[in-house]
A and B are shown apart, each in its own frame.
Chain A
Amino acid sequence: DGGITQSPKYLFRKEGQNVTLSCEQNLNHDAMYWYRQDPGQGLRLIYYSQIVNDFQKGDIAEGYSVSREKKESFPLTVTSAQKNPTAFYLCASSMGQKNQPQHFGDGTRLSIL
């Protein structure tokens, strides 16, 4: 089945540690996105990528980094500079053309030890 796979489902980070969240899609979508979800705040865009080797900052990019070396993969690194990393992280993808729907993975929940 085509879809978006996020791993791991749960992740724990120690103080001062960088962690990387994986996102893989087999939908042949051009665009990929990372969102952060906090209770009562909806989804906020961290980074997005329209094509391989290109990405743009979203609304809350500070403390995060991404790469897009392959069309299928868009990993997110939560760096030690992100002081409040505890959240539910969601990856999405779309065909990239305007008005094409975004499809979401099932998320990674990151907590601080």
Chain B
Amino acid sequence: RKEVEQDPGPFNVPEGATVAFNCTYSNSASQSFFWYRQDCRKEPKLLMSVYSSGNEDGRFTAQLNRASQYISLLIRDSKLSDSATYLCVVNVMDSSYKLIFGSGTRLLVRP
């Protein structure tokens, strides 16, 4: 079983749609949580950190449920430029802090 599980998609949605991605993690030593965005053949870029209280950044809302070990990302009013792969990432502490990546969920926003 992977440490961070995501639906690979692709999610194919029209412009203006609302889309939600989910992620589960298995390591209870996970300390911090993130959504990264990765465009084709580019590096991952931090989209937002995720907190238990929920946090919002413009059209993006992230939520963490520690009890269920579940992370979500909601994108409202999708833009063509939102097309990318969204990586669910947890920061785990064992011998040191390290990021554990999900395989990513691919989003395609069509005109």
A binds B: no
Hey, which bits of chain B sit against chain A, CB under 8 A? none
